[in-house]
Structure formats: C-alpha cells, structure tokens
Amino acid sequence: MTEPLFSFPHIDPIAISIGPLAVRWYALAYIAGLLLGWALLRRRITAGHAPFSQIQLDFLLNLSLLGILLGGRIGYVLFYNLSYFAAHPSAILKVWEGGMAFHGGLIGVMLAVLFFAYRNRIPVLAVGDQIALVAPIGLFFGRLANFINGELYGRVTEHPLGIIFPGGGPLPRHPSQLYEAFLEGLVLFAILFFTDRRLSATRAAQRPHGILIAIFMIGYGLCRMAIEFVREPDAHLGFLLQFGQAGISMGQLLSLPMVLFGLCLLIIVRRK
C-alpha cells in the first residue's frame, strides 16, 4: 500500500477550556462563518448591493442562526437516526454529543429567509441571493472543524492523499472533509462571487434575483453527490441502495432535490 503523504494532525477538538467551560472548534467554526458572512454583507449594504439595512441584517443573522441550529438538529434526527431518537427522545436535546445535518439546516435557513422577507416586505429571492453568496464561508469552516474532530472521514484508499484517522482504523482514508471544504467552500464561493460581480455590472432594476440561489443549490448538490462516492457512509445507515461495491448514500439522496430545485429556478429566472 502507498505510504500516506500526510498524517492526521491530532488537534484537540476543544479549542479553549476554562474550568468546566469548554469551547470546541466546531462551535468556533459556526461563529467564524456567521461573523465573516455578516461582515461581507455589511460591506455590501454600504456599497448599495444588498436589499436590507444594517439593523435588518442583524435580525436576519439571528434568524439564520436559529434556523441552522434547529433545522440542523431536527434534520439529523429525521434523516439520519430517527429510530434511535424515537426510542430515546431526551437525546434530541443533547446537541453537545454531535449530530447536525446540513440539509436540515438549509431548510431552517430557507424558512428564516421567507419569514424575514415577508416581515420586511423585501423580495424573497433578493434576500436569498445574499445568504447564498456567504453560505460557502460557513461550509468551509464547518468542514475544517469536521476534519479536526476526525469525523465524517472518507473510505479506505491507496492514494497518497489518504490519512489514517484516529477512529477510522489502521488504513488510510480519503480526507473527504478537506475535499468538501475546498469544493463546497472555496470553489463554490469563488463561482458565486464572480457571478455576483457580473450581475452587479447590470442596472439595479434589471438585475435578476434568484441566480445566486440557483447556482448555490446546483453547485453544492453536485459537489456533495460527487464527494459522497469517496466518503464513508454513516455506519448505522450504510447505503440506501447498493450496486456491488458502490451505492447511493443519504447525502446523495438529499442533495438530488437541491440540484433539481436549482435547475428549475435557474430556468424560471432566465426566462423572466
């Protein structure tokens, strides 16, 4: 077997510990993603590229955080381990033990955007575009935190990029968390950023709303579906459909509607 080029860094998942208080890298990843997204949107407000005020942005940030936490936890319960939580309902509240689902958090944020847009009488697609632009920032930091925690690792590989994870056995595995941080975070943000720059060159009255949402949905869905082919499926779920050594995972199944939704929205917006 090929010798891995890199070894697991063995970073303590707890970033800061003061007595009984422990702050984990995963929590700091949430904070970093939200604060950087907030800072970028503030700059866009100052430049006149966002449809809401700075005070409204603060309200939107709090709503989005609530949507991420509630949606992410409920999504994990429903999509990934319903039988366990049905038998142990008190465990639903034990979020410190882990268990958040991106697709559930996405639904939570979508509901938050709908409520915010309706309350402030702002076109919902215009608000959604702003959130879609900064969402990859949070994804980037979140996947780095997954890597530090040594969780959500990939399948066994002989590729030199393979890493031996503490909980993944003695064989090297794909660092799928880093693949996702690169594709869903850096690459997707770059695509959205430069698309937004091109759209900003058009007159404000002619700028189509919903393009960034569509690109985010399609881009994330395709990246996630591709990386799932090298990511280890959840042990308690396995493959939903299996074809020899390959199969369809829950992550791929949940990402497919995102791609279809994004394609439909893109067609509708471009026709308008």
pLDDT one-digit tens code per residue, 79-99? 888 888 888 888 888 776 678
User: For the segment 22-53, what is each residue's pLDDT rounded down to a tens digit?
Assistant: 788 888 998 999 999 999 999 999 998 899 99
C-beta separation of 30 from 105 below 8 A: no
B/e letters for 125-145, b = 16+ CB within 10 Å, e = fewer, are bbbbbbbbbbbbbbbbbbbbb
Query: Could you tell me if 57 and 35 are in contact, meaning their C-beta atoms sit under 8 angstroms apart?
Result: no
DSSP 231-263: BPPPTTT--SEEETTEEE-HHHHHHHHHHHHHH
Closest CA to 213 of 113, 83, 138: 113
Tell me 230's DSSP state.
T
Select from 178, 140, 145 the least CA-distant residue to 40: 140
What number is the average pLDDT over the span 245-266? 90
Judged on CB neighbours under 10 Å (0-12, 13-18, 19+), 244 is exposed
Q: Which residue has the higher pLDDT, 266 or 241?
A: 266
d(CA 139, CA 199): 24
Q: What is the pLDDT of residue 193?
A: 96
Top-confidence residue, 123 or 23: 123
Q: Can you name the residues that pair with 156 across neighbouring β-strands? A: 173
Query: Does residue 234 register a pLDDT over 80?
Result: no
